[in-house]
Amino acid sequence: MSGGALGIEIVLVFFLPLFLLHRYGHFRKQHPLVLFGTLLSWYLCFLIVFILPLDVSTTIYNQCKIDNEKPRDPSSDLFNQTSNSSVFPTSTPKVCHKPWSYIPDGILPVFWRVVYWTSQCLTWLLLPFMQSYARSGGFSILGKIKTALIENAIYYGTYLVIFCSLLIYVAVHPQWQLTWQGLQTISIAAANTWGLFLLVLLLGYGLVEIPCLYWNSSRHGYLLAKTYFKVAKLATEKSDAEENMDDAMEEVANVNESVGYSHPLRNNIDTILRKCPMEIQEKMVRLNTEDSEDESTQRTYPSKRSLVKLHKQVIYAGQRHSQTQVQWAILLEEAFHLEDVCKNETSASHQFVHSFPSSQPPGWLGKYLYTPTIEWYWECVLRQWCYRLLALLLSLLSVAVVWSECTFFSTHPVLSLFAIFIQLAERDYNYLYIEMACFVTILFLCVCVYSTVFRIRVFNYYYLVPHHQTDAYSLLFSGMLFCRLTPPLCLNFLGLIHMDSSISHQQRIETAYTTIMGSMRLLSFIADGFYIYYPMLIVLLCIATYCSLGTRCLNLLGFPQYISQSDDLTSELVEEGRELIRRERRNRQRSEDGESRKRVWRERYGEQRNVRRNRNGYSELKDNDSPSDSSDTAQLTWRESWDHTGLLQDVDTTSLDPSDSPTQRYAGGRYLSLASSRTHNDV
């Protein structure tokens, strides 16, 4: 299966970023270039994560062939038997079994070179420009490009200063030859140093937060209190978003009234109006049509710069308003569900009962497999124990990562747990175990780092919101973070398993990924200092995260964070959120009761009307929402009301319109009465 595993993974990995982009982005509303840039950056980063275990197994197989080809020295064999770093402890040559996922020579170096440099060009050049372009309020392509170039001038200038400083540092050392390969190494070292600095911060937070998250998810009381806290915070954000939306719409209305259809800036006004809600667009178009008849009105025309600013304000206000509305609906459903779980825990029937029926009909899974009884056992009994078990397993992995990060530089003896596991499997050439161990390790590291990227919030500028509510700026920013974090994360992983010779100092071939990264020997102060000792700070970050130091600091700075029920501010917000949920529950209950009463009345009196029609000899009408059918039904009902007196048996009622005024109906009824009386007199 030469290269088949590589091709299969390249195809299958594509669906993971596509699914995430569908969850967070909006394929119809957002610009295709924004979607393409985000998808490409996520895809390249996930490719590195999934293909790297194949690179490790292929490298181990190539190392086995080299070790069996070269002659062995008995003295070196005696030394290898006592060395923990030796992969082959005996002098007996072993048969090198080719791994099932073996990749031929020459493919991986080209693959890594394309993936790495494409991702670096995206994160340092294209994505920042696309961010400014997507966030610009310009009305033309040239205007947006000009704004993006101005905003990124300082950004690119900083990179140029840093790169020139590194060139000067290398030039003053004559033992270093400044070649093209050396420039590539300097660039890679600078990018990985910045990425490693950010990686340790996010990894230290994720290693503690991910196990705690699942452990707290097993505590229904804690989850419910935290949900109340979120409701109180989101209510404030929702109110602010509505106020900002109203202010923006008020400014748009003023500008819309001042600029007529014949003005040169009218096209820009129409562009702004298309970003407004549909009902506001129709209202403003109607008002502008009425005002256009009066040409004598004195008007103050806005400037082009003010319209650009207003356009940007409308885009931002619309996005925030839509995000808060969707989050509010989701958070209400979550709060109602948690309250139902707490109520059903004491249920003697062992059947889960929902407060409000689902708006969608249950599928075959809900009818036959996920029954109310199974739902009760899962929500009230099994779920909390499964989450606790998962939290314990993740805690063990976190402890192993922290220990290995502090000891991976030690090769005699080998202290890194992941290096020990890989070397034990390497002796038996168990390539499947090697790939699975590498994949689980690097996947756990990525979950800790990437989950922090998805959960972090920098005020309202960067915030990934699910259910298609993430704006273009946040999507592109997440792609930048992924491209900057993934290469140093993979290098750190290779150091943990002692597959990076610049850190482990072992005489063995390197992986194809490491050869693309370049030899860090060129910058010894980074390879021997920063890359080895800086990851040890992860211990302090884990302790700070466990003690909630960052949360407490944000709380002191005026950004409310959930700490515990004993905190005064937290308890106040929890009570406020509980009261908001009660109010929403009462509103929904009244709405449900009203709908049920309407449904009962419709069913009851609809049957009586059908019976009366059949008794009087009228054909049963089909329910239809068309205007003609509704008018026919109204005429028939009106005719039935007069038919009890027997006055309408021989009278043509087609000329009577049920939409007439009461006076006209009265006149028609009087005419019918007079006509009937004349008929009786004649008789």
pLDDT tens per residue, range 43-76: 999 999 999 999 999 999 988 888 777 655 554 4
Provide the pLDDT confidence category of residue 481 given band limits of 50, 70 and 90.
Answer: very high
Report how far residue 154's alpha carbon sits from residue 24's, in angstroms, rounded to the nearest whole number: 30
Given a cut of 50, is residue 443 above it in pLDDT? yes
d(CA 471, CA 426): 46
Nearest alpha carbon to residue 12 among 37, 43, 41, 40:
43
> Contact 344/353 with Cβ under 8 angstroms?
yes
Q: Give the confidence band of 357 by pLDDT, cuts at 50, 70, 90.
A: confident
Q: Say whether 458 sits in a helix, a strand or coil.
A: strand
Q: What is the pTM of this model?
A: 0.79
User: Is 205:538 a contact under the CB 8 Å cutoff?
Assistant: no
In this predicted structure, the answer to whether residue 267 has a pLDDT above a threshold of 60 is: yes
In angstroms, the CA 112 to CA 518 distance is: 12
Structure tokens at 285: 């178009």
Q: What is the residue whose two structure tokens read 């452990």? A: 215
Structure tokens at 503: 């850190």
Angle, vertex CA 442, rays to CA 451 and CA 34, nearest 5: 50
Cα 300 to Cα 83, 280, 646: the distances in Å are 85, 22, 70
Element (H, E) at 463: strand 462-463
What is residue 339's predicted lDDT score, i.e. its pLDDT?
Answer: 93
The share of the chain scoring above pLDDT 70, in percent, equals: 76
User: Residue 526 has what pLDDT?
Assistant: 66
How far apart, in whole angstroms, are the C-alpha atoms of residue 524 and residue 533? 13
For 457, phi then psi, to 5°, come to -140, 120
Give residue 110's pLDDT. 92
Distance between CA atoms of 238 and 323, rounded to whole angstroms?
A: 9
Residue type, position 368, single letter: Y
Highest mean pLDDT pick, 187-191, 395-399, 431-435: 395-399
Output the pLDDT for position 118: 94
Is the pLDDT at 679 greater than 50? The verdict is no
CA distance 176 to 456: 41
On the question of pLDDT at 90 being above 50, the answer is no
Higher pLDDT, 259 or 575: 575
Spatial CB neighbours of 66, under 8 Å, sequence gap ≥ 6? 509
Give the per-residue pLDDT at 631: 43
Lowest mean per-residue pLDDT among 201-210, 299-308, 321-330: 299-308
Reading phi first (left if > 0) and then psi (alpha if -120 to 50, else beta), residue 617 is in: left
What b/e string do you get for 366-399 counting C-beta neighbours within 10 Å, with b at 16 or more? eeeeeeeeebbeebbeeebeebeebbeebbebbe
Tell me, rounded to whole angstroms, the distance of Cα 486 from its chain centroid. Answer: 18
Please state the rounded mean pLDDT for residues 409-420. 88
Q: 576-635: per-residue pLDDT in tens?
A: 999 999 999 999 999 888 888 888 888 877 766 666 666 665 444 444 444 444 444 444
What is the Cα–Cα distance from 654 to 530, expressed in whole angstroms? 94
pLDDT, position 19: 95
Q: What per-residue confidence (pLDDT) applies to 624?
A: 44
Cα–Cα distance measured from residue 461 to residue 471, given in angstroms and rounded to the nearest whole number: 9
Which of 681, 638, 562 has its CA nearest to residue 227? 562
For 519-565, what is each residue's pLDDT tens digit? Answer: 555 556 666 667 778 888 999 999 999 998 888 888 888 888 888 76
Length of the chain in terms of residues written: 683
Distance of CA 272 to the CA centre of its chain: 27
What is the identity of the amino acid at 402? V
Residue 203 has pLDDT above 80, yes or no: yes
Q: Give 316 or 76, the one with higher predicted confidence.
A: 316
Location of structure tokens 């961010």: 131
3-state secondary structure (DSSP) of residue 457:
strand
Q: Is 177's pLDDT higher than 80?
A: no
Least-confidence region, from 136-145, 272-281, 567-576, 644-653: 644-653
Residues 6+ away with beta carbon under 8 Å from 200? 534, 535, 537, 538, 541
Q: Report, as an integer, the average pLDDT of 434-462.
A: 90
Q: CA–CA separation, 406 vs 408, rounded Å?
A: 6
